[in-house]
Structure 1
Amino acid sequence: MEAWIFAILTVFFLIVTPAYWFVTHETTGTAALTLTFFLSLMIAGYLSLIARRIDARPEDKREGEIVEGAGEVGFFSPSSVWPLFCGLSLALVMVGLVIGWWLVIIAGALGVVALTGLIYQYYRGEFQH
């Protein structure tokens, strides 16, 4: 199903890109739409190749039962502040690119600390493995 969604998007961008060029004669937008076409084509191709190699999931089958999808879905963190700190340090890096390189260095150091905390959060504390 995912491959079909991106295939439809690919056809859409194939139609829209030349129409956009003929209406506006703008090179920047046409280049962006062309690159978007190739990106959606690449994703559709990748997803269709992967879909052929794996077995159909229960939600992809017409006669799929709910019980077929039972079992462990995956591991999800119960609570963590480290993704917030990783995002804030990345935002600070982007602001630092505008303000000055000194802020990028500070934000990069904070980002290393936040990323280390994110990676090693299950080695200590309440959710230790």
Structure 2
Amino acid sequence: MKVQGWMFGGFAAFILATAIVYGWWSKEPTGTTALFLAFALCTMIAFYLGFTANRADTGAMDNEDADIADDAGELGFFSPHSWQPLMLGAGGALAFMGVIFGWWLLFFSLPVILLGIFGWVFEYYRGENRTQ
């Protein structure tokens, strides 16, 4: 994680320099603000990764003598048959069409999005997989 923290720190420094030069040269407030906000976001990510790297165990990426196989292992659980991403995608598409065609479409997309999020979060808490 330390390597990623340093990478985001370097990227934040580059964006800061770019924001200063862009703001001085163009005198355009929207792009300058966007660049300064991107600098702030990169700084937050760099701080988080550096802070977490000090508290977590050293990973294989922080060890110079490590092999690629040292970082192998279980990546996590991924749902093999979930329909909820399709519902979220349809709700998101409907919401973005609401931005294009009319804000009234958001009233129809919000229940679809909320139902998709609710279904995805509680997907394994019903039926035979329910914990008691």
Classify the TM-score, shorter chain: 0.7 to 0.9
Counterpart code for 2:80: P
Shift of 1:83: 0.8
Corresponding letter in the other structure for 1:25: K
Q: Residue 108 of structure 2 corresponds to which residue in structure 1?
A: 106
Which residue in 1 is equivalent to 2:89?
87
Tell me how far apart the structure 1 counterparts of residues 8 and 103 of structure 2 sit (CA, whole Å): 40
Gaps of at least 5 residues in structure 1 are none
Task: Give 1:17's aligned residue.
Answer: 19
Distance change >3 Å, CA 34–CA 112, structure 1 → 2: closer
Describe the superposition over 1:12-48 as per-residue Cα deviations: whole angstroms up to 9, x where unpaired.
0121122112322212211211221122112211211
Question: Residue 6 of structure 1 aligns with which residue?
Answer: 8
- Of residues 114-123 and 12-21 in structure 1, the stretch that sits farther from structure 2 once superposed is 114-123
| Residue number in structure 2 paired with 1:55 | 57
Identity %: 36
Partners of 1:50 and 1:9 in 2: how far apart? 19
Q: Which one has more relative contact order, counting CA pairs under 8 Å at least 6 apart?
A: 2
Aligned residues: 126
Give the Å deviation of 1:51. 0.9
Residue 8 of structure 1, CA deviation: 0.8
How far apart are the structure 2 equivalents of 1:57 and 1:88? 39
Q: 1:120 to 1:67 in 2, by over 3 A?
A: same
Q: TM-score, normalised by structure 2?
A: 0.78
Structure 2 letter corresponding to 1:43 = I
Deviation at residue 94 of structure 1 after TM alignment: 2.9
